[in-house]
Amino acid sequence: PGTSLAVLGHPIKHSLSPAMHNAALAEMARADSRFSDWRYHRFDIPPDDLPAALELLHRKKFLGVNLTVPHKILAFDLVAEVDPAARPIGAINTLHWTPAGWRGHNTDGYGLATAIRETLARELAGAPVILLGAGGAARGAAVECLQRRCASLWIANRTRANLDALLAALRPLAGAGTIPLHGFNPATPPDGIPAAALVINATSAGLRDSDPAPLDLARLACRPAGVFDMIYNPPQTRLLAQAAALGLPAANGLAMLVHQGVRALEIWTGKPPPVEPMRRAAGQM
């Protein structure tokens, strides 16, 4: 009975997704009783158990699943179909049960672009972007920037080999060279970065208070337009503190978390969900 949704991760107990989605569903149920028996659960699933878990959730008639660390890449090869926009990312965070089986989507890029619009009043389209990191989150962010046709993309990463692998994967998406794509060492930012770039942190540097900033903003030759840090816990990273000291518009990753969830719930319900209850449940000011 009822329609079930869930987030799978390992660990999972600190996930804000159940509170966000159940708050939105409660409000949707007030306007439309079809949503009154929809519930969103959380399950701690180690990576080896993911295939069996997806099979079991289907047998239990779950309609949708969110995936978080460490499942986003693993699941890519387990689903029946992947949304074309998510294919170049190689990772999915939202599954929707369809007659063909589980269909994978990636709503993190939508979450990022919407959060930057909301918190920094900027668009990725047409903007020079400085992206920090070359892991999974950076790949998703880079694909979103290129799909939205940013003006240029400057990617910095501590480990050169990981940066080179990401640049090679992105090159076919860079509009046959019409979107300039550059890599650099974060210790030595090049002079060619244009003014008014958007800085996006997609490294995990900042998750611990002792972490260094992934880039010293004061070393940039040109003043950026704003700084978006995907990290939301802690809410203030060293990078965001530097941005504040320089008087730059800046935001943490909470709005991204909220909007990736908004898009996922829209995929499952077919309706734009109310954002405010999700924001309140996530603790976004």
Q: Which residues bind ligand NDP (CB under 6 A)?
A: 108, 111, 133-138, 157-159, 162, 202-205, 207, 211-212, 214, 230-232, 253, 256-257, 260
Closest to ligand NDP by CB, 111 vs 183, is: 111
Q: Which residue is listed with tokens 């501590």?
A: 158
Closest to ligand NDP by CB, 136 vs 277, is: 136
With beta carbons less than 8 A apart as the criterion, state whether 211 and 238 touch. yes
Closest to ligand NDP by CB, 97 vs 138, is: 138
Out of 13, 61, 72, 271, the active site residue is 72
The sheet with strand 226-229 has its strands ordered as 181-184, 152-156, 128-132, 198-201, 226-229, 250-251
Residues 6+ apart with CB under 8 A from 161: none
271 is annotated as an active-site residue = no
Closest to ligand NDP by CB, 174 vs 215, is: 215
The residue of the chain with the least Cβ separation from ligand NDP equals 135
**Considering the complex, what minimum distance in angstroms separates the CB of residue 229 from ligand NDP?**
9
Q: 221, 190, 214: which is closest to 200 by C-alpha?
A: 214
**Considering the complex, what minimum distance in angstroms separates the CB of residue 208 from ligand NDP?**
8
**Considering the complex, what minimum distance in angstroms separates the CB of residue 189 from ligand NDP?**
14
**Considering the complex, what minimum distance in angstroms separates the CB of residue 164 from ligand NDP?**
11
Cis peptide before 11 (omega within 30 of 0): yes
Closest to ligand NDP by CB, 118 vs 211, is: 211
**Considering the complex, what minimum distance in angstroms separates the CB of residue 144 from ligand NDP?**
12
- Give the dihedral sign, CA 69/73/77/80: positive
Residues 6+ apart with CB under 8 A from 223: 195, 196, 246, 248
Cite the active site residues.
Answer: 72
